[in-house]
């Protein structure tokens, strides 16, 4: 039977790419597609040498381990020794994990009448199905995982430029990342950021701002529920120092954009609480951010 070495090499290349992406997913590190393919190409050298008289060079365990070091180095870049060894260990873990899964699939479909597990001129068909099916899944989860941990780039008590878009209103302000802000909306469990509306209305409707500032009529006024319903707002219960059973008027912004480390990110998985209490006595910031607001679906926009 004629064996097409280039297709067998391509299968090995994709498998190595999958292992590298899974390693990055477990480590919660963003590995670019280019670096992943670069590392996978280095790993696929074993297959290329198999068809040459130099196959013995990579046949020993020492050379295979050395090759894995090069794969990790070119995929994840230069790093501290302890971090590099961690990458190596997770790389081998990912290799055994995917290899075990593939072996399990072979055992599952092993049958004299089933051709899925039989080798062909282009390599094992089941391996192709497995690799081509797993690559988009791992890449999708890797990108999602990186997005979910983007908030770790924040610094405690650091101020950030931000834009809040609600209907036809765009608010430009500065927000303080407060690790003590653990406010969530009870039903949706969405994090709540707080905007200081004590002196500025930020272009928000007068009826809504009046409802926020008049704390006594918030619970007693007959029109308060009508105002909330019209603007699709809600009350969020919260506690402050020395006070409890308070209600904060919250609206659902269209999008919130933050400038983090020179790049703009946007998220929709957040509520905007409107406060009638001054947040900063020196007016350095007008919004208190939530440390988990960027754990939802976020997008890098610049």
This prediction has a pTM of 0.52
Please classify residue 54 by burial: count the beta carbons closer than 10 Å to its beta carbon, then call 0-12 exposed, 13-18 middle and 19+ buried. exposed
Q: If you average pLDDT over every residue of the chain, what do you get?
A: 77
What is the DSSP-derived secondary structure letter of residue 52? Answer: S
pLDDT at residue 109 is higher than 80: no
Q: What six digits make up the tokens of 290?
A: 């939530």
Question: 195 is in which domain, residue-wise?
Answer: 152-300
More confident position, 78 or 205: 205
pLDDT tens column, 180-193: 788 888 888 889 99
* Nearest one of 295, 290, 297, 296 to 273, comparing CA atoms: 290
The 10 Å CB-count burial string (b at 16+, else e) for 113-152 is eeeebeeeeebbebbbebbeebbeebbeebeebbbbebbe
More confident position, 104 or 302: 104
140 and 158 both lie in a single domain: no
| E-strand stretches of 185-241 | 192-196, 234-240
286 and 162 both lie in a single domain: yes
Q: Give the span between the Cα atoms of 102 and 57, in whole angstroms.
A: 27
Q: Please check whether residue 257 is in contact with residue 234, taking contact to mean a CB–CB distance below 8 angstroms.
A: no
Q: What is the pLDDT of residue 164?
A: 93
Q: What is the pLDDT of residue 261?
A: 75
Model confidence band, residue 116 (pLDDT cutoffs 50, 70, 90): very low
Q: Give the span between the Cα atoms of 279 and 222, in whole angstroms.
A: 28
pLDDT tens column, 242-257: 455 678 889 999 999 9
- Stated as kind and residue range, the H or E segment containing 47 is helix 45-50
What is the DSSP-derived secondary structure letter of residue 281? Answer: T
Last residue of a domain, one of 84, 119, 148: 148
186 and 137 both lie in a single domain: no
pLDDT at residue 201 is higher than 80: yes
141 and 178 both lie in a single domain: no
Q: What is the mean pLDDT of residues 160-183?
A: 88
Instruction: Work out how many domains the chain is built from and give that number.
Output: 2
100 and 202 both lie in a single domain: no
13 and 60 both lie in a single domain: yes
Q: Which of 178, 196, 201, 282 is catalytic?
A: 178
* Nearest one of 215, 206, 296 to 256, comparing CA atoms: 296
200 and 224 both lie in a single domain: yes
pLDDT at residue 259 is higher than 50: yes
164 and 106 both lie in a single domain: no
CA distances to 32, 91, 95, 174, 201 from 25, in Å = 12, 11, 13, 33, 43
95 and 221 both lie in a single domain: no
Q: Give the span between the Cα atoms of 87 and 54, in whole angstroms.
A: 29
Q: Give the span between the Cα atoms of 234 and 262, in whole angstroms.
A: 34
120 and 228 both lie in a single domain: no
* Nearest one of 289, 183, 198 to 236, comparing CA atoms: 183
111 and 236 both lie in a single domain: no
Among this protein's residues, is 178 annotated catalytic?
yes
287 and 176 both lie in a single domain: yes
Determine the straight-line distance between the first and last CA of the chain, rounded to whole angstroms. 53
Question: How many CA atoms, within 13 angstroms, populate the side-chain half-sphere of residue 151?
Answer: 18
Last residue of a domain, one of 93, 127, 148: 148
Q: What is the pLDDT of residue 113?
A: 43
């Amino acid at each position: 039977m004629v064996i097409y070495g280039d297709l067998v090499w391509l299968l090995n290349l994709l498998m190595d790419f999958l292992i590298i992406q899974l390693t990055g997913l477990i480590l919660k590190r963003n590995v670019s597609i280019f670096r992943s393919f670069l590392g996978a190409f280095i790993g696929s050298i074993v297959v290329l040498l198999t068809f040459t008289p130099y196959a013995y060079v990579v046949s020993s365990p020492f050379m295979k381990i050395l090759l894995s070091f090069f794969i990790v180095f070119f995929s994840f870049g230069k790093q501290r020794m302890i971090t590099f060894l961690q990458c190596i260990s997770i790389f081998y873990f990912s290799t055994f994990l995917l290899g075990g899964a593939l072996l399990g699939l072979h055992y599952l479909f092993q049958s004299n009448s089933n051709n899925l597990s039989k080798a062909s001129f282009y390599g094992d068909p089941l391996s192709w199905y497995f690799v081509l099916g797993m690559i988009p899944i791992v890449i999708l989860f890797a990108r999602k995982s990186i997005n979910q941990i983007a908030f770790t780039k924040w610094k405690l008590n650091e101020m950030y430029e931000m834009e809040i878009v609600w209907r036809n209103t765009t608010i430009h302000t500065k927000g303080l990342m407060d690790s003590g802000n653990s406010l969530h909306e009870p039903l949706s469990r969405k994090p709540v950021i707080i905007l200081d509306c004590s002196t500025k209305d930020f272009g928000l409707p007068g009826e809504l701002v009046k409802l926020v500032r008049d704390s006594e009529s918030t619970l007693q006024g007959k029109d308060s529920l009508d105002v909330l319903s019209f603007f699709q707002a809600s009350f969020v219960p919260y506690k402050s120092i020395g006070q409890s059973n308070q209600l904060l008027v919250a609206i659902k912004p269209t999008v919130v954009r933050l400038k983090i480390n020179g790049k703009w990110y946007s998220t929709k998985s957040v509520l905007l609480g409107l406060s009638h209490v001054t947040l900063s006595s020196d007016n350095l910031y007008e919004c208190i951010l939530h440390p988990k607001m960027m754990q939802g679906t976020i997008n890098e926009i610049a």
